[in-house]
Structure 1
Amino acid sequence: MAAAAGQTIPDLVGPDLRVLFSGINPSLYSAATGHHFARPGNRFWPSLHRSGFTPRLLHPSEQAELPALGLGITNVVARATARADELSPAELIAGGRTLTALVARWKPHYLAVLGVTAYRTAFARRAASIGPQEETIGGVPVWVLPNPSGLNAHFQIDDLAREFAALRTAATGPAG
């Protein structure tokens, strides 16, 4: 896995996305496999399914199925690390600028940032909390979701699925 340090994973983006999910940055495991949220124990894929975004539980290797469902994946910072806390505030801020440009280009209906602390730093939104945000990024509404990493003990799988489901409901309603 150490060989994956600093590696990147291609964004999974395209036109007409209902939701573009943005992780903080890829794990070393994800970089080694080339699949987003691939580390065993990461709860992104189960949360996506339990919330109703996907008709079945997808394996990270099936990520190419997401655009047909109106979903995409990117990261605030492209560089893979063992832990997100290895990223500097400057990297998160620079990544926020890059993410803003990506969102402005593709115009998904919603941008979902997975990790409130990273969102606060990357976009200078110190008071941000989980849920819909008042501000937009690249002209797109933002929804902050909990980080699905297994290291985030504050949110269990049912809590994550409930938060994801609130976004799914918004993304399939009049705004999405």
Structure 2
Amino acid sequence: MTPEELQAARDRVVPDVVAGGLSVLFCGINPGLMSAATGHHFARPGNRFWPVLHLSGFTPRRLVPAEERELLAYGLGITNVVARATARADELTAEEFREGGRTLTAKVEELSPRWLAVVGITAYRTAFGEPKAVIGPQERTIGDTRIWALPNPSGLNAHWTAATMAEEFARLRVAATADRSR
């Protein structure tokens, strides 16, 4: 992609990968320019979402962004807190996050996934007005949907390695699997 092609993708929306009754609906912060330019979630080469999804046991092999619709066969989906694409998440306003939280709540009420997994603790805190939230399962629910805050898989998130991130994703996978067996 040329810099011009990436800039032309600014403010585009990447379509959700969703269905009713998912086991886990993963929720990114917002699409980056590479995702908007390609039309696929978590498309930037340095993003660790796809490797971590596999390392944590959610998928039997490492998928690439263009295979994102295969997630539905595993009971997984993808959406975003804020739909519009930006070069960086810090270009979004607090009001965009709050509005995104309201939109996301309505989407979850409609789709009824067992778990909503927000990948980015700061996005979760702002969107849902939970300033003290920490990584892991949350007290808040949306109807019967439980919420889990996960670390942001962006390559810019140096606080988490792919291995430690995969451990946290795996904790969610175990909880989601236990829910299915009830």
Q: TM class, shorter-chain normalised?
A: over 0.9
Give TM-score, length-normalised by structure 2. 0.95
Paired AA for residue 128 in structure 1 = A
Superposed counterparts of 1:25-44, under 5 Å: 25-44=30-49
Alignment counterpart, residue 161 of structure 2, candidates 138, 153, 156: 156
User: Does 2:172 correspond to 1:171?
Assistant: no
Paired AA for residue 111 in structure 1 = L
TM-superposed deviation, 1:140: 1.1
Confirm or deny: 8 A CA contact 1:100 1:138 kept in the other structure.
no
Q: Counterpart of 1:120?
A: 125
Q: Which runs of 5+ in 1 are unaligned?
A: none
Superposed counterparts of 1:91-110, under 5 Å: 91-110=96-115
Q: How many equivalent residue pairs?
A: 176
Which stretch of the first structure deviates more once superposed, 129-138 or 77-86? 129-138
User: Does 2:73 correspond to 1:72?
Assistant: no
Q: Counterpart of 2:88?
A: 83
Give TM-score, length-normalised by structure 1. 0.98
Alignment counterpart, residue 62 of structure 1, candidates 39, 57, 67: 67
> Secondary structure in 2 aligned to 1:102?
helix
Confirm or deny: 8 A CA contact 2:114 2:144 kept in the other structure.
no
Paired AA for residue 161 in structure 2 = Q
> Secondary structure in 1 aligned to 2:124?
helix
Q: Which runs of 5+ in 2 are unaligned?
A: 1-5
Q: Counterpart of 1:24?
A: 29
Residues 149-175 of structure 1: per-residue CA shift (max 9 Å, x gap): 000000010011001000000000036
Q: Which ranges of 4 or more aligned residues in structure 1 deviate by more than 3 Å? A: none
TM-superposed deviation, 1:138: 4.3
Confirm or deny: 8 A CA contact 1:93 1:121 kept in the other structure.
yes
Q: Counterpart of 2:55?
A: 50
